[in-house]
Amino acid sequence: MANAQRPSWLAAGLACRCPQCGKGRLFHGFLTLAPECEACGLDFAFADAGDGPAVFVILFAGFVVVGLALIVEFLYRPPFWLHALLWGPLILLVTLGPLRPFKSILIALQYHHDAAEGRLDRGARADREGRP
């Protein structure tokens, strides 16, 4: 497919769509990838975001929730039950909400930069070790 028709990695990632065509859905469930794009047939077997999305979400959510909790504590000194009431739902919102788009963005970046797991070139290794 020509690059002119390819969506940007950010647009495809935020929309949770196929990084090649931007039309097919990337996910089959909440975080489960579809086996292939329903629009262009791109095999999603290459996609492996690993723990990357969770790490970014944890850093983001920790910054937001801990920062707000500290500000509220120092300014208003509310009882602990109010902290639990405030931050419990916010934690769910700032962790589960961006998890899917973060995973989609990382997969779109992986596709656009043709990133893959590192592999040893067995031929070069055999030459270096003097094996045939």
What is the rounded distance in angstroms from the CA atom of residue 96 to the CA atom of residue 99? 5
Q: Give the single-character DSSP code of 130.
A: T
The contact pattern for Zn ion, residues 42-81, with x = CB under 5 A and - = no contact, is: x---------------------------------------
Report 103-132 residues binding Zn ion (CB under 5 A): none
Q: Which residue's structure tokens are 């700032």? A: 94
For the chain, how are helix, strand and coil distributed in percent, rounded to 5? 60, 5, 35
Nearest CB to Zn ion, comparing residues 21 and 107: 21
37: contact with Zn ion by CB under 5 A: yes
Nearest CB to Zn ion, comparing residues 3 and 130: 3
- Closest by CA position to 106, among listed 46, 24, 66, 61: 46
The contact pattern for Zn ion, residues 15-34, with x = CB under 5 A and - = no contact, is: ---x-xx--x----------
Among 15, 16, 39, 64, binds Zn ion (CB under 5 A): 39
Angle at 99 between CA 96 and CA 104, to 5 degrees: 150
Contacting positions for Zn ion (CB under 5 A) = 18, 20-21, 24, 37, 39-40, 42
